[in-house]
Structure 1
Amino acid sequence: MATFLVLRLQGPLMSFGSVSVDETRPTHPLPTQSQLTGLLANALGWRAREGARLNRLQERLVFGARRDIPGELLVDYQNAHIHKGEAAWRARAAGPLVRAGGDGYENAQRWRHYIADGAVSVVLTLEPADEEPTLDQVARALERPARPLFLGRVSCPPSFFLHCGETVSADSVSEALRLVPPLGADREDLYAEWPARGALAGNHDLALRVQERADLRDWVNNLHTGWRLVATGVLSMASESGGGRS
């Protein structure tokens, strides 16, 4: 039986990056492996340049997520004029993008997708459990983070503490999700995702399907790469399996 931390993700806006094409940046309905890795690392005070450390944390992270309140899709359309010689904003790691040739200006168009007024419950643990950072160290970091935490993007601050000491003990991720009371949900059946492989994967009978999720990151080379198998299904909250919560 494993111990899982319970995270409650809720805020005016959330964004869980999905596979993007050009400047259209969609959001997945639930958090991704790389996004949660970055969230935990930020709480611990790690830096983006610590690639090997981040890769190892991503490898150890075992989690499942449940959509308690679906929220609404919000698309932010951004349109900027870039004149010759001007720099467009880019992430610090990538550096500025400077328009070089031609006369006049170019339009830089972007579409950023967000979930508005949603709520997500996450259960997570680390394997192996005795390696640092331990689950207790992560819990303390989430309660008193080294830096501000965000729900996918800097423009998405949470509306409440992400972790308030809540844990569950269960034999699998799917079982742990069923033990966590929903956030403001008036339904008994809630969409969820959990690992399809591994000792803590859970009951495949609960899954509607198993699919590839391209949500891994090579933190050393600063690239999104790699995939994992994820079970997706609707969890009934009416009956709970064995286990415990605190």
Structure 2
Amino acid sequence: MSPYVLLARLAGPLQSWGLSSRFDQRDTHLRPTKSGFVGLLAAAVGFNREDPITPLDELRFAVRADRPGTPVEDYHTVGGGRYPLRPRDLITDHRLNRTMAPLFDDVPGRAFGVMPSPSADGWYGAPKGIAPDADSGQLLARTGHRNPIITNRSYLADAQFVAAVEHEDKQMLDELAVALEQPRRLLWLGRKSCPPAGEISGGVHPGCIEEVFATTRLLPQATSEQPWTWVEVAPGTTGASRINDQPVSFHPTHRSYAPRWERRVRIEPGQSIGWEHLL
């Protein structure tokens, strides 16, 4: 069977495609990852994180950097400052304050809303790691200190990419194209704080990725007449490099990825496939 390709325009004020993010260090790859784009497609069609991602994991992937954007860093804090004790009326009503403070003091453990002092006057640091206790169901915080959690988050500013996925099942690609414009879940460019700008789907076209890119125009704000393209290839292909972004599962408790191979090439853009319908 002959292959078909779904094109997608990935553009927005900020994008962030994490490749090795851990805890307080949230990096971004310099281009969209396969796992990130497949995750966007999965959200568009309404997959839950626990669902198997087949057949989306069978898609062959490529991305062209028409406008690579500018890397930026965000110094980000979470949970700092002073907050009123909950419920709030314990702060504003001194009579309730006096009545309820002893009850709070009698609660064992570090409970959400509990002050370490005998009085409920004053303020407390926003608790971190709030979760129900396994035995009592009471909301507990792993720590109540006032120091904020500091994270470093990386983004690409003003970037524009053309992503492509290839498969022989045209009907599936057509359904994905519709889902990108009528998504069942919110879409974002790698991170929830990065919504896409404008329409995404560039339609479904006959041919392999290399053939379709050779007939696809540059995006209007492209910064290079012949931008780099990263194309997924078979293992062992000459000039290919390994990247660990083949999605296996998006399950929230055991997300997993596998390696795949890609090759960086320059494919001279054509003029047949345009972007007027998106702009």
- Give the TM bin, normalised by the shorter chain: 0.7 to 0.9
CA RMSD between the two structures:
3.1
Structure 2 distance, partners of 1:73, 1:154, is 18
Correspondence 1:177 to 2:213: yes
Q: Partner amino acid for 1:113?
A: S
The equivalences for 1:1-246 within 5 A come to: 1-49=2-50, 51-52=51-52, 54=53, 56-81=54-79, 86-88=126-128, 98-100=141-143, 104-126=145-167, 129=169, 134-164=172-202, 166-170=203-207, 172-183=208-219, 184-197=221-234, 207=239, 209-220=240-251, 222-237=253-268, 245=273
Secondary structure in structure 1 of the residue aligned to 2:148: strand
Extract unaligned runs of 5+ from structure 2: 83-109, 113-125, 131-138, 275-279
Shift of 1:223: 3.0
Structure 1 distance, partners of 2:142, 2:268, is 54
The farther-off stretch of 213-222 and 24-33 is 213-222
CA contact (8 A) 2:63 2:164 kept: yes
Structure 1 distance, partners of 2:128, 2:249, is 25
Larger radius of gyration: 2
Structure 2 distance, partners of 1:59, 1:158, is 22
* Cα deviation code 1:64-116 (max 9, x no counterpart): 101110111111111234697554379xxxxx993337xx4343111111111
TM-score, normalising length from structure 1? 0.76
TM-score, normalising length from structure 2? 0.68
Shift of 1:194: 1.5
Shift of 1:153: 1.4
Residue identity (%): 26
Extract unaligned runs of 5+ from structure 1: 91-95
Distance of aligned partners of 1:144 and 1:88 in 2 relative to their CA distance in 1, 3 Å threshold: same
Secondary structure in structure 2 of the residue aligned to 1:140: helix
Distance of aligned partners of 1:223 and 1:31 in 2 relative to their CA distance in 1, 3 Å threshold: farther
CA contact (8 A) 1:24 1:112 kept: yes
Secondary structure in structure 2 of the residue aligned to 1:99: strand
